[in-house]
Structure formats: C-alpha cells, structure tokens
Structure 1
Amino acid sequence: MAPSALVVGDIYFEDAKWQALSPAVTLKEYRKGTRAEFISLLKSGIFDDVEAIFRSNESTTVTGPFSEEIISILPPTVKWLCHSGAGYDNIDVEACTQRGIQVSNTPNCNEGAVADLTIYLMIGALRRITAPNNALRAGKWRGHIVPGHDPKDKILGILGMGGIGKEVAKRAKAFGMKIIYNNRHPLPASIATSLSAHFVSFEELISTSDVISLHLALTPSTERILGAAEFEKMKTGVTIVNTARGDLIDEEAMIRALEKGKVWSLGLDVFDNEPRVDERFLGSERVVVCPHIGAATVETMAAMERLVIENIKSALFNGKLLTQVHEQISQS
C-alpha cells in the first residue's frame, strides 16, 4: 500500500513535482479553508493514514500555526512534518518531538532573496525614500526633501551571521560599509576575512553601529533582543533593518526611539502581530515597509518547494529527512 502525504496550503510553483509523487504516494490536500475546519477534519479521521505533511509559512493563513493544539490531534501515523521556509517559529517543534514527529525546514534556499531585500530596505531607510515617494505619488514632485545618508563608510552591525547575514555582508561590502557582527560563535577566520567582517560583543555592536540589521532565528533567548535598554545604548541617528522576525524587537520601544529621534529611520519587512501592522509605522515617512516578502521570488519559492518534496520522498522511502531542524538533530 502506498504511503500517504498531505499538503496544507498552496504549492505555488512546483505543483507538478508534487503531483508526480503519485501513484507511489497517495496525495491528500487541504489547500483552502480555516483553522477550525482543519481541526474538524483531523478529528473526523479523513487524514488518519497520512505519514508526511507539506506545509509553509504561507499556509499559516489557512490553518494558523502548527501549535500544540494541532500537533496533539494529528493522526498517530504522522511521522514527518516538512516545512517550506527557513524560519519555522510557527511550528511547535517540542510538541512534535514529544509525539515522535520529525520536522524539516528549507535552509539555504532564501539567503540571497532575503539579503537583497535587506539591502533594499537599508538603502531606502538611509535615504528616507518614503517621503519623496509619497510626495511624487501625491503630485507634489519632491515635496519637502530631507537629505538622506550614503552607506559608504557607515558601520553596519549584523546580528546573526548565518547564511543570510553573510549574504548581507557580501552586498554591504560592495557599498563600502564597515561590517561588524555578533553571533553565537565567531566565523572561521578565512570567511570573516573574505567578508571584511569583525566579530564584536553584542554591547559593542548596538552602541557603535550606524545601521543594525537583524538576522537571528526567533527563540526564547532572542525574543525582544532589542528593547528599551538597548535602544538607549545606540547611537543617536541609528537605522534599524529587520527582515528576520518582528518579535525580535520590542515594537513600542522602537517606536518611542523613532519618535524621540534616537532612531533616524527603519526598514521593516516583519512585524510583531502580522498581518496587523502598527499604524505608526504605516504613517511615518521615516519608515520603509514591506509585508514579509523576503523570500517571495519565483526562484526562491520554487527552490524551497522542491526541497520540501525531496524531504518527503527521502522520509517516506529512506526513513530520514534531508534537512531536519537543528533542535531535533542536537537531541538525537
């Protein structure tokens, strides 16, 4: 009997590869609907033979997060949860581990796309591009111009020097920026030298950077890593860029720092209560915003979907994931 796999939410670019799993795999779908409907179907037994699940960050709009509430009622046959996205904070990994469900993500697929958007937001924030853009759209040509800043010779502090952080450093180096970073561990000397990046303490980074860019995973230890105390220690006129997760920053503290002039400008792709965004961000011409689109390119999304399908194939036919999340690897 063929193993069964379930896709939750849409597959945008590689649906043909998903369909090609059949007939070796029995394919089931829950692409549209609500969290309540999904929970009802789980309880009904319709998915009781499912062994692997394909989900994505985008599928959260369909089912909400894969919290303990959902994990606890997944069929006992489910052994593999294959996630499309580098970040997976909308999955309760601990609950999965307790139920013997192995989780994979798609690391290394989105690094270039997110780094590109980071640079876009950084340059836009340094130039305060929102004000003249709004003026032009309102038929006022330039409006009241506030001259921006060049990136050249500015100190860029990168919090989190994983794959995305390194890609940001490569791009920032081309702009003539001075790059410092803080990470759990310093990079190997050869990599740090190639990036012209210097390891510093967290305290030194927040107090000396002209631009601070966040590239950390959201964990209990990184949640609200930038709060009121940290903003007080920053240079007056600092620019903050966040393409990682909104919960890394205390939004109220950041807004107060912006209103006081401690922060020159912001470049934000992520927010605390997505999809709701604080009106003070939307109403400020010192803020450049995007609606969490860091990985939203055809090439990146297709690559992530292909890796999810490869994880499902490997899990069902070889009994192991290709890119299991690090929390579970470290416990094994």
Structure 2
Amino acid sequence: MTMTMPKVLICANPSFGVRWVKAEQKSKLGAVAQVLELESTTRDEFFKDCKGKYQGVVGIYHHNDSSAAVGKFNQEFIDALPPSVKYIVHNGAGYDQIDVDACTARGIQVGHTPKAVDHATATTGSFLAISALRQFYRAEVNIRNGNWKSGLKPAYDPEDRVLGIIGMGGIGTIMAHQLMAFGMSVIYHNRREIVPSPDFACEYVPALSDLLARSDVVSLNLPLNEHTRGMFGAEQFAQMKDGAVLVNTARGAVVDEPAMIAALQSGKLASVGLDVYPDEPRVNPTLLAMDNVTLLPHVGTETSDTQRKMELLVLDNLISAVTGKGLINLVPEQQRNHDHPA
C-alpha cells in the first residue's frame, strides 16, 4: 500500500515564493513531503483555503514577506489553521510575526534559523558602529552634494573605545570579534553570565546601568518579546555616556523611539546606527532629516549567501520534523518547556 506523504505549505510571497534555494535542494523536502506553494493573495482567501486546498498540511514554511498577502501569524491566524498543522518554521532568527503562545496552546511547534543569520547581521552592526563613530553618512552626504569636507567636524576613532553588547549570543559574539579588530574592548550584559566564558577578552557586567555608563558604543542584540518591548528608553539613555552611540540590529520596538530622538536632539547621543524600526517600512521623518545618523532598510540578512543558508535551514527543520525526528531549532520559549517539562 502506498503511503501518503505529509503536506508542507511554503508560505512566502505568492509573487515569487522561495527565492534562493535551487530546485534540486528544494527537492530534498519534496522527497519526504508533498510541497504546496502559497496561492492565497489575501488573508480572507487564506482562511477559506485552510478549509480546502490546505487541509491536511502538517508543516508550514514561514517567510516574513508572506505578510504582504496574508498578514501576521497572530492568534486569529493560528486559530484558523487546519488542525493538522504541527510545525511552523520561520525563515529568520527573530520570529515576532508569529504568536508563539497561540501556537503552543494548539500544540504547534515553532522553529527559526539562529546561527544562519549571525555573520551577516553582525557585519551590519559593525558597519553601523563604525559609520556612527566616524560620521561616514554625514561625509557621504557632503560629497554627494558637492561640498567635499566643508562643514565637517572631526569624528571619533573606534580604537580604545568600549563596545557594550546587550545580548551576547551568536550575533553579539561575532560582532565583538569584528570590532575588537578595530581596537575596541568588549563588555556585555546578559541575564546570566556566559559559562564557560567566551574564548576572547570580554567582561560580563551584571548591572545594565553599569554597562551603559562605561560604553562608548551600545549594541542591542536581543529578541523582541513582552519583556524587551520598549525596554530601552529615557532611563537607559540618561545612564549612557554623553556623546555615546547606539546601534540596533535587533528589532525597532525594543527602543522607545521618541526617547531616542530626544537623546539625539539634546546631544546625549552623538549618533545612532539603525537597521530596524518600530513601524517598518515607515521610518520616522525626524530621523530621515538627521545627517548624523546611519540608517539602513532592515538589510541585515539581505545577502544571497545568508538567504540561502536560512532557507536551507528551514527546509532541514521541516524534513527533520515530518520524518519524525522533531525540529532542529525550536524557539527558546518552547525549548525551555521541552527541556524542563512541568
């Protein structure tokens, strides 16, 4: 008797689907599952299709660009999924577009792609730190406007500056290595000290306020969740050195944006380097008008090499799941429950 293969839905933008994975590598998943492409172009259409063509789907590949068609995977969305769905794997390290609590309540495991994004995101953070210190954006505006060095003031070398990393995971660790090559020293703050200690010179600072008081550049490398949303605000900016720099490649909503802009306007912050914003793709016009900040349009992982690694890791997770081996990369909230069941 022929066994029916489990169904997996590729939930990416219907216009182009999975972008970087070659057909023969995508066929790895096709060897163990019936692969369906997202065809729904609206959220309502998707909900109807969940009662039709998507019935029986066991796993879902989630890409952020699917939100253009079907929106976020919030509780309403999760509750509308076919009861057969057991796995959702997100293409990315951050997964705030997915309501993990709603998934957990329905017995759906959620995966993501840590490590695959580390180098590309760290490189973005390091670029933002150097650009903010050296004021390279302001210099570029000058030359593009035909002003050469007119009006430019001397900026700052990274050498002998202190880099304070909030959230020393994979991305923070690589960023530390990269900026140490520019002569920076590294301190970090996590909920707990890393044990065993990292294999490079760095110092754990238990109190966030102490890290802020000592750092010339503060880098945010932490996920967005109910505990971190808006956690970096006026109190934290007041604790920073005068003329310090903030770099954010995590999520825009981790920072209280009005407080950050006030710190820039007062001179408390010399500059910021941002790849993320609280209301993407909208960027606050006040930030756009400032020539002492470096802004990128959330391109931290936008390289063909990293996109390919991320997509292949999603496929590997789904292959592992539908063949009975479980997800390779459970999100931390569910991993904790998996490691320490009640």
- TM score, norm. by length of structure 2: 0.92
Q: Residue 29 of structure 1 aligns with which residue?
A: 37
Distance verdict in 2 for CA 1:142–1:37, change over 3 Å: farther
4+ residue runs of structure 1 moved beyond 6 angstroms?
none
Deviation of 1:59 (Å): 2.8
Letter in 2 for 1:114: T
AA aligned to 1:5 is V
State the 1:185 CA deviation.
1.3
The CA deviation string for residues 102-142 of structure 1, in whole angstroms up to 9 with x for no partner, is 11111111111111111111111111122221122223333
Conserved in 1, the CA contact under 8 Å of 2:221 and 2:249? Answer: yes
Q: Deviation string for 1:12-63 (max 9, x for gaps)?
A: 1115122453364222111673334333433x42211111100123333332
Q: Verify: 1:278 aligned to 2:281, yes or no.
A: no
Which residue of the partner structure matches residue 160 of structure 1?
167
The correspondence for 2:314, drawn from 286, 308, 328, is 308
Q: Please list the CA deviations of residues 259-311 of structure 1 after superposition, one character each: whole Å capped at 9, or x if unmatched.
A: 01100001000001111110111110011011111111111111111111111
Q: What is the aligned-residue RMSD (CA, Å)?
A: 1.6
Deviations 1:207-237 (A, max 9, x none): 2211100001112111122111111121110
Contact 1:166 1:195 in 2 (8 A): no
Q: Which AA in structure 2 matches 1:4?
A: K
In structure 1, the residue matched to 2:10 is 7
**Inter-CA distance 180–20: structure 2 relative to 1 (3 Å threshold):** closer
Letter in 1 for 2:326: K
- Equivalent residue in structure 2 for 1:55, among 62, 66, 71: 62
State the TM-score, normalized to the length of structure 1: 0.95
The within-5 A match list for 1:41-120 is 41-42=49-50, 44-120=51-127
Secondary structure of the corresponding residue to residue 72 of structure 1: helix
Q: Where in structure 2 are the equivalents of 1:1-332 lying within 5 Å? A: 1-9=4-12, 10-16=17-23, 17-22=25-30, 24-30=32-38, 33-42=41-50, 44-191=51-198, 194-200=199-205, 201-332=207-338
Preserved contact between residue 160 and residue 183 of structure 1 (Cα < 8 Å): yes
Task: State the Cα distance separating 1:143 from its structure 2 match.
Answer: 3.8
Where 1:100 maps in the other structure, the secondary structure is coil
Secondary structure of the structure 1 residue equivalent to 2:90: strand
Contact 1:132 1:143 (C-alpha < 8 Å) held by counterparts? no
Deviates more, 1:54-63 or 1:102-111: 54-63
Q: Is this contact kept in 1: 2:29–2:318, CA < 8 A?
A: no
- Counterpart residue identity of residue 160, structure 1: G
Unaligned regions of 5+ residues in structure 1, if any?
A: none
Q: 3-state SS of the aligned residue for 1:187? A: coil
Task: Kindly provide the amino acid, as one letter, of the partner of residue 36 in structure 2.
Answer: K
Task: Go from structure 1 to structure 2 and tell me whether the alpha carbon gap of 1:15 and 1:52 turns closer, same or farther (over 3 Å shift).
Answer: farther
- Ranges in structure 2 where 5+ consecutive residues have no aligned partner: none
Would the alpha carbon gap of residues 31 and 274 (structure 1) be closer, same or farther in structure 2, given more than 3 Å must change?
A: farther
Count of aligned positions: 329
1-structure distance, mates of 2:139, 2:55: 56
> Alpha-carbon deviation of 1:195?
2.3
Deviations 1:53-104 (A, max 9, x none): 0012333333222110100000001111011111111110110011111111
Listed one character per residue, the Cα deviations across residues 155-199 of structure 1 (whole Å, up to 9, x for unaligned) are 1110000111111111111111121110011123541xx321101
Tell me the SS of whatever aligns to 2:260. Answer: helix
Q: 1:274 to 1:315 in 2, by over 3 A?
A: same
SS at 1:205's partner residue? helix
